[in-house]
Structure 1
Amino acid sequence: MLRDIHPLLGPNLLFALATMGHGDEIAIVDANFPAATLGPEVVRADGMAALPLLEAVLTHMPLDTFDPAAAWRMEMVDTPQIVPPICLAFQEVVDRLAGPFSIEPLERFAFYERAAKAAFIVATGEQALYANIILKKGVVTPDEAARFARN
């Protein structure tokens, strides 16, 4: 047991987050997503919902402030102007834990292409449609690192 580690982060996901560097991306995807065939290493999170897993990841991982976009979601096919409720909830978590980042929409196949270049794909058991998000890792500043070291 470790202190101050979100309980949803198992050893494989902790390893993935720890080995990612600034600018690396991680995709958190729903149960329908073709995670196994895109190429990046897949971290299984079966039985977990995407929203609490996103919260767990953002509890420990900063988003990239050097780019205007650091988070992307999949657009709905045929109705790209509609933002799915799960993605609205994703935005609330990002706002609360990462700061003022807008989750940018990507067309379905563009999302697949970006996910194929991610460092890792986290395959959840999420049943909501379009519950897919890609996050770009930022940097932990020396002040943040010192603050965490004191805790």
Structure 2
Amino acid sequence: MIKHPLLNADMNMLAATLGHTDEVTICDAGLPIPASMQRIDLALTHGVPGFIETVKVWLASSQIEGVVMAQEFADASPEVYQALMAELDNEAERCGRAIPVTYLSHEAFKKRTGISRAVIRTGECTPYANVIFRSGVVF
């Protein structure tokens, strides 16, 4: 059995096969996911699993070098936005590198998910609780 916190087989396979600059989206329960995308659907019920707890496990299991999120996120859902920013600050400290954040309109964000390798859907029911992680390298 693996020792790191990520137990989901599909997410493990995704993390193991990512290359530098590949993108992965973690989203709330309502984000439209293109039919052509790999969907890893974790949603069980409203709020389970949550967006932040899913982000925490993903960050513990993969290297990132940047994030993309909707401009509307901070104003519409400040508590979840601040929690995400705190996790990004923690990750930057752990890896010793700044993690740049790019902001797009929500419409542009939805289009950008189309280039993600996969979309991980949570049970989160907070508006705009979505993030795209750009994969980095560990060296």
Range class of TM-score, shorter chain: 0.7 to 0.9
Match status 1:74 vs 2:70: yes
Report the identity percentage. 24
What one-letter code is carried by the residue in structure 1 that aligns with 2:68?
W
| Structure 2 equivalent of residue 51 of structure 1 | 52
Match status 1:21 vs 2:19: yes
Change (3 A) 1:97 1:83: farther
| Structure 1 equivalent of residue 77 of structure 2 | 84
How far apart are 1:113 and its partner, in Å?
1.4
What one-letter code is carried by the residue in structure 1 that aligns with 2:61?
H
Query: Could you report, residue by residue, the CA deviation over 1:11-47 in whole angstroms, capped at 9, with x for unpaired residues?
Result: 1111111111110000000001112x35320111113
In structure 2, how many angstroms separate the alpha carbons of the residues matched to 1:81 and 1:21? 29
Match status 1:106 vs 2:104: yes
- What SS does the aligned partner of 1:121 have? strand
Number of residue equivalences: 130
Query: Could you report, residue by residue, the CA deviation over 1:72-130 in whole angstroms, capped at 9, with x for unpaired residues?
Result: 11222xxx773632122111101102343243221011101111110110011111111
Query: Could you report, residue by residue, the CA deviation over 1:27-74 in whole angstroms, capped at 9, with x for unpaired residues?
Result: 000001112x3532011111311101111111121112xxxxx10112
In structure 2, how many angstroms separate the alpha carbons of the residues matched to 1:24 and 1:132? 17
RMSD (Å) for aligned C-alpha atoms: 1.8
| Structure 1 equivalent of residue 118 of structure 2 | 120
What one-letter code is carried by the residue in structure 2 that aligns with 1:94?
L
Structure 1 stretches lacking a partner, 5+ long: 65-69, 142-151
Change (3 A) 1:87 1:41: same
In structure 2, how many angstroms separate the alpha carbons of the residues matched to 1:108 and 1:121? 16
What one-letter code is carried by the residue in structure 2 that aligns with 1:49?
G
Query: Is 2:76–2:127's contact at 8 Å kept on the other side of the alignment?
Result: no
In structure 2, how many angstroms separate the alpha carbons of the residues matched to 1:24 and 1:38? 19
